[in-house]
Structure 1
């Protein structure tokens, strides 16, 4: 058990600051595992992002260009691959922030709502995750040798690749933080499932926090 005298703690000696940090680390680890698992959350949600949403109003042109459903499926699969690659680059941004971030009022985060800690973390991280993801997406779009993607982008006269990357990056950003929040809520609802003594002690039914 980690005991940090300088941090806010419970009567039982549990470090609330360390508990919040541990909560976010476990939630983030679970979130990225689910996001990138074959057939998991990422495939169900991000891989099905409408191309019209990603490409803006020009995305509607695809409805006339892509007459084959198989063609469209291949294109969306390619975008999903970019998203998964970006998520691997995003993970260290989040986990590194958790390790060094200060939690000025850990007790409030412990007693907060289902996603209080992840909401706080997202605010502290700011645009760092997007800053890491968007340039990589833009480069992937520019250098992609997938003929299907190249044909679709070429058909969209005047398409702004950096703009596509930015809009797609924001979709990824929302998906990542949404999943971290869901994992945090799950841990709060059933801390015993983590088998982590610190999380059980602070967030369990017997806690006096």
Structure 2
């Protein structure tokens, strides 16, 4: 069994943690479910689908909404030195693609740490106006989630990314080139984590929009009733 398969199964397990009982004192939806519960169900399903795609081999690189691009400046020796050495490498299309593949691969591995954090955050999430969120734009719930935990998702991924980048990027560029450019792996890890987090939320938003466009396809009676226009 491959890692991607295991991770997809874990995603289903994490999603099952979402409480099914209505919360006392909250506005009620169909079947006695709270409207906050409806937002959580929408976000949980959107997140499961998003990570299910992104955690597959090549998930970040193959998805235009999530793909990480090699940054133009990651050296500690000043822009002149960087442009003369690292920039020369990235002017080669073959090397640039190799670096891009390495960055997207480590983003996918770091996203494995982010997935349970995002799903756990959704589990305890409450909204000030669940009705407005449910009746908002195609990505209204994702936008709310991004606003609340986007920065934390970056922090969850940075340590993992910094360590992975040191080995993967060195392999992509060669140890000698990396030493000459003075790459700051912690700073590069933060740059990639920020791009990866933004990509994660863009993909979650895309899945939310798809669910809103066809709630019947979820076969979830609560979402069908709440999202029916």
Q: Partners of 1:118 and 1:165 in 2: how far apart?
A: 24
Q: Aligned residue pairs: how many? A: 204
* Secondary structure, counterpart of 2:71 in structure 1: helix
User: Is it true that 1:26 corresponds to 2:51 in the alignment?
Assistant: no
- Residues 86, 136 of structure 1: 8 Å contact kept: yes
User: Is it true that 1:170 corresponds to 2:194 in the alignment?
Assistant: yes
Match of 1:36 in 2: 55
Deviations 1:132-184 (A, max 9, x none): 1011111222345853344342241x322211111111110110011111111
- Residues 46, 83 of structure 1: 8 Å contact kept: no
- Structure 1: runs of 5+ lacking an equivalent: none
Deviations 1:53-74 (A, max 9, x none): 4737647844523676444433
- Residues 162, 186 of structure 2: 8 Å contact kept: yes
* 2:124 equivalent among 79, 100, 115: 100
* 1:88 equivalent among 112, 133, 145: 112
Q: Partners of 1:60 and 1:120 in 2: how far apart?
A: 43
Q: Partners of 2:133 and 2:110 in 1: how far apart?
A: 29
Deviation at 1:44, TM superposition (A): 3.5
Match of 1:137 in 2: 161
- Residues 54, 168 of structure 1: 8 Å contact kept: no
* Secondary structure, counterpart of 1:51 in structure 2: coil
Match of 2:71 in 1: 52
TM-score (norm 1): 0.83
TM-score (norm 2): 0.76
User: Is it true that 1:154 corresponds to 2:182 in the alignment?
Assistant: no
Deviations 1:5-32 (A, max 9, x none): 5321247644311111100000000111
Q: Partners of 1:31 and 1:16 in 2: how far apart?
A: 23
- Residues 36, 42 of structure 1: 8 Å contact kept: no
* Secondary structure, counterpart of 1:159 in structure 2: coil
- Residues 46, 175 of structure 1: 8 Å contact kept: yes
Match of 1:203 in 2: 227
Give me the CA root mean square deviation.
Answer: 2.8
Q: Partners of 1:129 and 1:173 in 2: how far apart?
A: 6
Deviation at 1:48, TM superposition (A): 5.2
Q: Partners of 1:67 and 1:188 in 2: how far apart?
A: 42
